[in-house]
Amino acid sequence: MIPIAPIFVRSKEILEKLSLLLDDERLAYGEVNSQTILSLSEQKQTLLDEMNQLNEKRVNVLIKFDIVDRKNPTEEAFKKWLSLQDSSMDNVRLLMQECDTLLRQCKTKNNTNARILNTLQKRNKHLFELLQGHNSKNKVYTARGSTRPISSKHTLGRA
Domain span including residue 123: 5-134
Asked if pLDDT for residue 154 goes beyond 60, the answer is no
Residue 18 lies in a domain: yes
Q: Decide: helix, strand or coil at residue 24.
A: helix
CATH number at residue 74: 1.20.58.300
Residue 139 lies in a domain: no
Question: In this predicted structure, what is the pLDDT of residue 158?
Answer: 52
Domain count, the chain: 1
- Residue 63 Cα distances to 9, 59, 75, 109, 116, angstroms: 20, 6, 12, 32, 41
Residue 144 lies in a domain: no
Residue 82 lies in a domain: yes
Residue 146 lies in a domain: no
For 96-125, the pLDDT digits (tens) are 999 999 999 999 999 999 999 999 889 888
Residue 142 lies in a domain: no
Residues of 87-124 as b/e, b for ≥16 C-beta within 10 angstroms? eebeebeebbebbeebbeebeebbeebeeeeeeeeeee
For 42-94, the pLDDT digits (tens) are 999 999 999 999 999 999 999 999 999 999 999 999 999 999 988 888 999 99
Look up the pTM and report it: 0.79
